């Protein structure tokens, strides 16, 4: 009996499409004191009334890089730790016997 392989349809995307997230494009609402301050500050700095998350990130990266770097490092380390945990989980699983 020949082995049949399941065929799946793959969709190819480029790197720009992979790294596209709608979150940075969200316009920030002023629903707290800190958000109001950040939106006003960034709006004044960039001379724009509508401020997005990406704009706030750019201004923080320019004017407060220590903060942004610490968030990026923590995010990287948590992702790396999760990847190691996932990889270790692959080797700890027991194989199941297949009845014929």
This prediction has a pTM of 0.60
Q: Would residue 99 count as lying in a domain?
A: no
* pLDDT in the model for residue 7: 59
Q: Would residue 66 count as lying in a domain?
A: yes
Q: Which domain holds residue 88?
A: 23-92
Q: Would residue 84 count as lying in a domain?
A: yes
Instruction: List Cα–Cα distances, 93 to 36, 89, 90, in angstroms.
Output: 50, 6, 6
Q: Would residue 12 count as lying in a domain?
A: no
Q: Would residue 1 count as lying in a domain?
A: no
Q: Write the pLDDT tens digit of every residue in 73-95.
A: 988 888 888 888 888 877 765 66
As for how many domains the chain has, the answer is: 1
Q: Would residue 55 count as lying in a domain?
A: yes
Q: Write the pLDDT tens digit of every residue in 13-30.
A: 666 666 677 777 788 889
Q: Would residue 14 count as lying in a domain?
A: no
Q: Would residue 6 count as lying in a domain?
A: no
């Amino acid at each position: 009996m020949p082995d049949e392989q399941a065929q799946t349809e793959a969709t190819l995307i480029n790197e720009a499409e992979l790294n596209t997230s709608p979150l940075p494009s969200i316009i920030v609402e002023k629903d707290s004191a800190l958000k109001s301050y950040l939106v006003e500050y960034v709006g004044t700095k960039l001379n724009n009334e509508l401020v997005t998350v990406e704009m706030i990130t750019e201004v923080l990266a320019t004017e407060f890089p220590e903060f942004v770097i610490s968030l990026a490092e923590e995010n990287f380390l948590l992702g790396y730790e999760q990847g190691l945990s996932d990889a270790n989980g692959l080797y700890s699983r027991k194989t199941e016997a297949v009845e014929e």
